[in-house]
Structure 1
Amino acid sequence: MRTGTIIAALSLTIASAAFAHSGVKDPQVKAWMENMKSIATETKTLGQMARGMTPFDRDAAEAALASLEAHAARIPDVFARPAEDPLSEAQPTIWTEPEDFTRAATALRSAARLPVETADDLRAAMGAIGSTCKECHGRYRQ
């Protein structure tokens, strides 16, 4: 049940991310929003498989996880310098606590590396991914 709740919350995040991008002026903010949008897209694909909304496909899951990991690896770089835009939801703690922020991105990368041989494995991985997203957004996103 907990994994399902996390996956549903991630789906809501995906929908709100698309709306948030319209009107962004700062190219730095746009870059991190685009990176997060890519993570959300992969998370949606994985979440649909984990919830049984689409059939489990190991190759597709592994491809989505690899993409998610690659985008997670970019998080410290796209947030390297503070940027301001009225539509940004980034908290200043990203730049006042850069080591902790980088650790959170690393935790997401680690969760994306979990093996997914079966749908049950994917559900476990999504639980870990969802927890890292929730923790990071709770601390670093308005």
Structure 2
Amino acid sequence: MKRSTLPLILTLIALPAAAHEGVKDPQVLARMNVMETIGKQMGTLGGMAKGEVAFDADAAAAAKATLEKASAQVLPTFEPPATDPHSEAAPAIWEEWDGFTTQSVAMDAAIAALDTSSLETLRAGLGGIGQTCRTCHKAYRIKK
């Protein structure tokens, strides 16, 4: 992965914990928790890729496994068009459900393809996941 794109990827996926404060709709809270889990796991993997923490194949594999489970929950948690003033989900998600689904499936595939056995393969695979995050956030996320 190019070093210049990693900070952008990590910025796009990070969800501050404060965003959950005041959320009343349980479906929206569930979505936020799924996205927060994805962000945390990408942070773990990104930290290794950037050399901020030592590469650990076992920790990377565990992060990937958690990432796969969370990614599998994206469509089920977003399918109901629940709203909340604190939500960052754009109405385009439900207006363009097929496009959102395509992005979610692409993320699942990129995560499945991630090889966490070495630092080099981790770095090489994170770009594909980051691209799916960027594309989806650009089209389907409201920045608050």
- Report the TM-score when normalising by structure 2: 0.89
Segment drifting more, 100-109 vs 46-55: 100-109
* Correspondence for 1:121: 121
Structure richer in helix, relative to its length: 1
Q: 1:16 Cα deviation (Å)?
A: 4.1
Residues 12 and 134 of structure 2 are in contact (CA less than 8 Å); yes or no, is this contact kept in structure 1?
no
Alignment of 1:6-45 (within 5 A): 6-13=5-12, 16-45=15-44
Structure 1 unaligned spans of 5+: none
CA distance in 1, matches of 2:32, 2:105: 18
1:66-81 equivalent positions in 2, closer than 5 A: 66-81=65-80
Instruction: Say if 2:107 and 2:129, in contact at 8 Å, map to a contact too.
Output: yes
When structure 1 is superposed on structure 2, of 98-107 and 46-55 the one drifting more is: 98-107
Indicate if the aligned counterparts of 1:66 and 1:112 stay in contact, CA closer than 8 A: no
Q: What is the alpha-carbon distance in structure 2 between the residues aligned to residue 35 and residue 3 of structure 1?
A: 27
The residue number in structure 1 matching 2:103 is 104
Aligned length, in residue pairs: 141
Paired residue secondary structure (2:43): helix
Equivalent residue, structure 2, for 1:134: 134
**Distance change >3 Å, CA 5–CA 24, structure 1 → 2:** farther
Structure 1 CA distance for aligned equivalents of residues 95 and 23 of structure 2 = 23
Moved more, 111-120 or 35-44: 111-120
Tell me by how many angstroms 1:12 deviates. 3.3
Listed one character per residue, the Cα deviations across residues 2-30 of structure 1 (whole Å, up to 9, x for unaligned) are 64344323443465431211111111111
TM-score (norm 1): 0.90
Q: Determine if contact 1:38/1:71 at 8 Å carries over to the other structure.
A: yes
Q: Match for residue 93 of structure 1?
A: 92
8 Å CA contact 1:17, 1:33 repeated in 2: no
Letter of the 1:118 partner, please give it.
S
Cα distance in 2 for partners of 1:94, 1:119 equals 34
> Mind listing any 5+ residue stretches in structure 2 that lack a counterpart?
none
